[in-house]
Structure 1
Amino acid sequence: MALAIALVGLALGSVLFHFLSPWYFTPIASNWGAIDTTIAITFWVTGIVFVAVSFFMAWALVRYRHRAGARAAYEPENKKLEWWLLVLTGVGVAAMLAPGLVVWAEVVQVPKNAQVVEVLAQQWHWSYRLPGKDGKLATVHSRFVNDGNPFGINPADPNGGDDVLLSTAEVHVPVGQPVKLLLRSKDVLHNFAVAQLRVKMDMVPGLVTYAWFTPTRTGSYDLLCEELCGVGHFAMRGRLVVDEPAAYQAWLDRQQTAAQARARPAADVAAGKAAYAPCAACHGANGEGNVALNAPRLSGHGAWYLERQLRSFKQGLRGTHEKDVFGRMMAPMAATLADDKAVADVAAYVAGLPDAPVPATIKGNVKNGRERYATCASCHGADGRGIMATNAPRLQGMSDWYMATQLKNFRDGVRGGHPQDIYGGQMALVAGMLADDAAIGDILAYINSR
């Protein structure tokens, strides 16, 4: 009797939990309401079967419980019962499968007017490519992939000049416009998933998979990799922003094409040298840094990284947290650079300074650090010299005391909390793996050994 009551309680409790629980699907923001309907049908079918079986088992336990002198009746076959089970099972399975087949028929039929967006995944980074005014994407091949050409675009393809290349983890699409996603992976199996849009598709190395959707509501939605792709899988996040058509076009017009990026005027190093003069007071004439002034080494970094950090300070992505004392000191200094050209000039000058690694100041367990650094290596490189394609800066030979401070800032929420600082948010997740200062010291000791 106790077991029968437990079965009934389990069935009723499960039903109540389903209907009363605050955890359910995120509000849909695309045309794929049919997917939710299909899942709801599956819930109803499996839920009814679960309750029916639970109640039947409870009834059987009570009805056929042990009684002194009672004997079981053996019935090897029951044609009527078998037919009922066959029919009901067939109806239930068909009710679950048929709607899914209907939806799948829609999933594989992409509208002809769909806008194409190519998504490229690699541990643990998203990047995107959009066709230019010609409406065509250039052909790609793995043999063309390198740090300067992360998409592997065929240099001989004339359609590649106006392709828009986004190395940021954020991409925009217009509301109400069908979007076709061409999904590629450079290394391992990944998965493109945006819960609100009901989009989820594997990204297989060597293949181009696809998915499509029509966004119906503007907003900013988290993009997740939902396939275990390595130890840093949890930090592989991006953002898909749905804009009104006018706002989307304005965003698109601000993006550089591949040809524009190649034709970008060279930075004025002389102007950068003059603009760097105030910086030298803290960071040193040769960008060597000064631990007494909490100014890290700058020389040795690529211009692309220095530009991004200066823009982050100027735009308020860094240096705004009340506990980020030295970041708050740096923000007004970055604000003295009037525009992107001034930022590029300073970055180019600093990138050309002598590459003289600074002495190590932190000690730790190199062996433990090697194991922990495995997560970092996919972005920053096995030798810690940074990878431009993954927007990961150089670590080897840089100011270890500064890196220790920043890892603590990431871990403690002082840095990486701004919603637009996507890479900072990613670093905050990774730094959360470092339980204490000793773990940070171990990683930096290993980096210093490279």
Structure 2
Amino acid sequence: MIIAGLIILLVIASVLFHLYSPWWTTPIATNWTNIDSTLSLTFWLTGVAFVLVISFLGWCVWRYRHHAGRVAHYEPESGRLEMWLGAITAVGVVFLLAPGLIAWGKFINPPADAATVEIVGQQWAWYYRLPGPDGKLGRADARFVTADNPLGVNPYDPNSKGNLIVNGGDLHLPVNKPVKILLRSIDVIHNFYIPEFRAKMDMLPGSESYFWFTPTKTGTFEILCAAYCGVGHSYMRGNVVIESDDDYQKWIAQQQSFTQARNGAGDRVRAAARGPGED
């Protein structure tokens, strides 16, 4: 009786904790409300299953508790019972997977007017590349990574010359405009994650991944790495600043192009080679 009561008490406490817990999702700041809806549906379905299964367990502990002289009853296999259990489980799995697949399909199909921004992860910092005035990103490859080209941008691609390079610092984006996020990693597996955007994706060395979102609120939101990437993993943080289009254009005007960044790095290298006091 005591064990059965404790099991039912566990069910009640779990439900109350879920309903009144102070730890919940952060306020959403993008268009991905269907991701929140999918999470809520998952909680409700798994929560109902949890209550039913654990309550049944408690009932069984009480109903079939020990009595002097009681003998266990052998029940042979029941094809009908297995069919019902299989069907109910299949329906539950469909209701769990289908909304997620629908959300995923939308998540990786950006609209045609989405601007492209590249995020590059490297132990243990974030780097950003944006299109220049022509709106095109040049190709990139890890083979081109050097001290003056840390993102591995292809210097022979004409579309690369005007690309804007942001080495560290904050990434700025305009509010209410769709953005396609192109992800690359230079070294190990990283994961680009912004909790308020409900957006995250693995970054694999040697490949590209992507998703999109439309920021709906201005403000500063923290970028995290959600994949353990080495001893400095906890320090791999950054910020994305969502602002008005006018403020965004002012920030864009302050950024260096790929060509300017390389020339500046070359000048610094040559100055260091000459040494102080040399012309």
TM range (shorter): over 0.9
* Residue equivalent to 2:94: 94
1:218 deviates by: 0.9
* Residue equivalent to 1:31: 31
1:109 deviates by: 1.1
Greater relative contact order (CA < 8 Å, ≥ 6 in sequence): 2
1:353 deviates by: 4.5
1:8 deviates by: 0.8
3-state SS of paired residue (1:6): helix
Q: What are the within-5 Å matches in structure 2 for residues 174-213 of structure 1?
A: 174-213=174-213
1:75 deviates by: 1.5
- Percent sequence identity over matched residues? 49
* Residue equivalent to 1:49: 49
* Residue equivalent to 1:128: 128
Moved more, 243-252 or 126-135: 243-252
Tell me if 1:215 matches 2:211: no
* Residue equivalent to 1:113: 113
1:39 deviates by: 1.0
**Moved segments of 4+, more than 6 Å:** none
> How big is each residue's C-alpha offset from its partner over 1:270-310, in whole Å with a ceiling of 9 and x where there is no partner?
xxxxxxxxxxxxxxxxxxxxxxxxxxxxxxxx89xxxxxxx
- For residues 87 and 155 of structure 1, the distance between their equivalents in structure 2, rounded to whole angstroms, comes to 58
Question: Higher helix fraction: Structure 1 or Structure 2?
Answer: 1
Question: Higher strand fraction: Structure 1 or Structure 2?
Answer: 2
Which residue identity lines up with residue 37 of structure 2 in the other structure? T
What is the TM-score with the length of structure 2 in the denominator? 0.92
1:352 deviates by: 5.3
- For residues 91 and 153 of structure 1, the distance between their equivalents in structure 2, rounded to whole angstroms, comes to 48
What are structure 1's unaligned runs of at least 5 residues?
A: 268-301, 304-347, 355-450
- For residues 157 and 102 of structure 2, the distance between their equivalents in structure 1, rounded to whole angstroms, comes to 39
Moved more, 103-112 or 230-239: 103-112
1:224 deviates by: 0.5
> How big is each residue's C-alpha offset from its partner over 1:342-394, in whole Å with a ceiling of 9 and x where there is no partner?
xxxxxx89x9549xxxxxxxxxxxxxxxxxxxxxxxxxxxxxxxxxxxxxxxx
Which residue identity lines up with residue 253 of structure 1 in the other structure? A
* Residue equivalent to 1:224: 224
1:252 deviates by: 1.1
3-state SS of paired residue (1:111): coil
Which residue identity lines up with residue 249 of structure 2 in the other structure? Q
- For residues 122 and 82 of structure 1, the distance between their equivalents in structure 2, rounded to whole angstroms, comes to 51
- For residues 262 and 45 of structure 1, the distance between their equivalents in structure 2, rounded to whole angstroms, comes to 54
1:217 deviates by: 0.9
* Residue equivalent to 2:81: 81
3-state SS of paired residue (2:162): coil
What is the TM-score with the length of structure 1 in the denominator? 0.58
1:79 deviates by: 4.0
> How big is each residue's C-alpha offset from its partner over 1:219-271, in whole Å with a ceiling of 9 and x where there is no partner?
1111001100001101100111111112111211221222344566x99xxxx
* Residue equivalent to 2:142: 142
1:48 deviates by: 0.7
Which residue identity lines up with residue 188 of structure 1 in the other structure? V
3-state SS of paired residue (2:256): coil
Which residue identity lines up with residue 96 of structure 1 in the other structure? L
- For residues 169 and 182 of structure 1, the distance between their equivalents in structure 2, rounded to whole angstroms, comes to 18
Describe the shift of the 1:13–1:353 C-alpha distance in structure 2 as closer, same or farther (beyond 3 A): farther
Larger radius of gyration: 1
- For residues 57 and 152 of structure 1, the distance between their equivalents in structure 2, rounded to whole angstroms, comes to 58
Assess if the C-alpha contact under 8 Å between 1:217 and 1:242 holds in 2: yes
Assess if the C-alpha contact under 8 Å between 1:125 and 1:169 holds in 2: no
